[in-house]
Chains A and B, each alone.
Chain A
Amino acid sequence: MSILINKNTRLIVQGITGRDGGFHATKMKAYGTNVVGGTSPGKAGQEVNGIPVFNTVKDAVEATQANTSVIFVPAAFAKDAMMEAADAGIQLIICITEGVPTLDVVQAYNYIQQKGAKLIGPNCPGLISPEESMVGIMPTNIFKKGGTGVISRSGTLTYEVVYNLTQKGMGQSTAVGVGGDPIVGLYFQDLLEMFQNDPETDSIAIIGEIGGDAEERAAEYIKLT
């Protein structure tokens, strides 16, 4: 097992006709992620590497039964994109975009909460359940299926740690990059809980980052449970 994403993940890519969106959609599909569609207003009917493009997330969900969305739109439009996904019934929203204004994230997060969906990011590398699904911009080749859950606020330092884990034979159940901004969605405590309840995860690695007291709070949570 894994957390959040697996073989049943049906992913759409918001901003799929952009340079980054298109590039990473293709990469994710090549890894085996079930990329069922993408959105770009005014570009419905087009295809990106065989992936159908829709005008709205709502159209995409209706046509493909997508349950997960990854966002690659520019920072100024990220708030709207996150809310659009939640409104269309997407359950898990991953925002890769960096440089999103903090108060935009506050509003989008609040809206997503009200819709009962989950947010990862913004300004994050996404997540991967090795050999099942990768959503985001992670370098897939360093990961290996296994029992270690990875939670990280950092990018390349995560890869460094995962690379060493894999070299030592410790594969990963799921690795999540939560993002480095002041306000992001799912955090240490939420993910610790999910990993705790995942029968296949037997160990957890947490990689922190400067700023804030999230690491201290995670340590307190671990102590309590």
Chain B
Amino acid sequence: MKVHEYQAKGIFASYGVPVDNSILCKTPQEAVEAFKKLGTERCVVKAQVHTGGRGKAGGVKLASNEAEVLEHATNILGMDIKGFTVDRILVGEAVNIAAEYYVSIVIDRKSKGAILMLSREGGMDIEAVAKETPEKIFKIAIDPSVGLTDFKAREAAFKLFDDMAQVKQAVPLFQKLYKLFVEKDASLAEINPLVLTKEGQLKAIDAKMTFDNNALYRHPDIFEMFEPTPDEKKEQEAKDKGFSYVNLGGEIGCMVNGAGLAMATMDMIKLYGGNPANFLDIGGSSNPQKIVEAMKLLMADKHVRVVLINIFGGITRCDDVATGLIEAFKELKTDMPIVIRLTGTNEKEGRELLKGTNFIVAETMAEAGKKAVAAARY
């Protein structure tokens, strides 16, 4: 789950990680008031959206007087950035930057724990830095049984700073970042850039956090910040019913049990020249009600012209699945072409049951893919 910059900064501040002074605004007038309140010579007006590349899209502007603040705030509010409409902006003090750094804590699959990632190439797209100059990125594994010890934090700080005065500021900053990462069950806590001001202070002037969805149950304060996009809303609805659903915009609706098999099914559709409308994993069970719900979800998508159902009968038997499907479609009453591929336990019995129905039955995944693509073309 993502949060906005201002929310991440709020969490940072509550843990004592230094951030720039900033005020959240919803109207241009509020922005002007905020500028006055900050009392700084210049300020930065930043769009608050759940996507990267704000700067490039024109969603981050520097202002030196009230007229400029008003102008930028007016332009940025309501702006569309990668499909997100800006309804909030953050007005922050423009600090005097001496140097910029990259700092983050992230879950590392390889070392099976949290790592501290650092670079002197701050303010840049860190993935580009990692790709082009991997030697400029430092990764420090954090032992979960002891946390980020002083010596580890110092080791990290010396990667970025040559001056002991800055190392002394960086050590507690890293430790606080790790503390909030763990206590809030984050999957990412990123400062890009961490700025060294001309006055010699370290400050996070941007903040990004994402949280582990599996741990939200124990963080109601974080879950409160959840702002689902329309797509995420649909995905959440599906999740509540026990599905995983992602809309992809194609014409062949897919209903599959298991994520891996669903991916393979989508590959098959692509291979035969079709486009999957969605990823839908209906999970382990195949009870008729679940199939009805899944079909309703697929049919609500106006792009869907054919539905491909691919079920592997492992624990559940194919004849049970077939009976479930027949029952489900009695309730649904749709004339949409349905291609069904059943494999696994009792597959012959399952296919036998589907004979004489309107379902288009396929034996292999390839056959199902071809038949679905053909049906989508009429």
Residues on A lying within 8 angstroms of B by beta carbon are 75-76, 99-104, 106-107, 109-111, 114, 137-139, 141-142, 152-160, 163, 180, 182-183, 207, 209-210, 212-214, 217
Contact = CB atoms under 8 A, between A and B. Distances in A.
A155 B260 contact: yes
B220 to A, nearest CB: 14
Interface of B: 107, 109-110, 112-114, 143-145, 182, 185, 187, 212, 214-215, 217-218, 256-261, 263-264, 312-315, 343-345, 365
Nearest to A104: B215
13 contacts: A101-B214, A101-B215, A102-B185, A103-B144, A103-B215, A106-B113, A107-B144, A156-B261, A156-B312, A156-B314, A157-B260, A183-B112, A209-B259
Given A107-B144, A155-B258, A180-B259, A100 B113 contact: no
B215 A142 contact: no
Given A106-B107, A114-B145, A156-B314, A207 B260 contact: yes
A212 B143 CA distance: 21
Nearest to A159: B314
Given A106-B114, A159-B344, A214 B215 contact: no
Contacts of B345: 139, 141-142
Contacts, number: 104
B113 A110 contact: yes
A136 B107 CA distance: 27
* CB-CB nearest 6 A-B residue pairs: A154-B260, A156-B258, A157-B260, A139-B314, A101-B215, A156-B261
Given A110-B145, A142-B344, A158-B260, 11 more contacts: A107-B145, A110-B113, A142-B345, A156-B257, A156-B258, A159-B312, A163-B343, A183-B107, A209-B259, A212-B109, A213-B109
Nearest to A114: B145
A143 B145 CA distance: 40
Contact of B182 (A100, A103, A138, A212): A103
B214 A99 contact: yes
B189 to A, nearest CB: 12
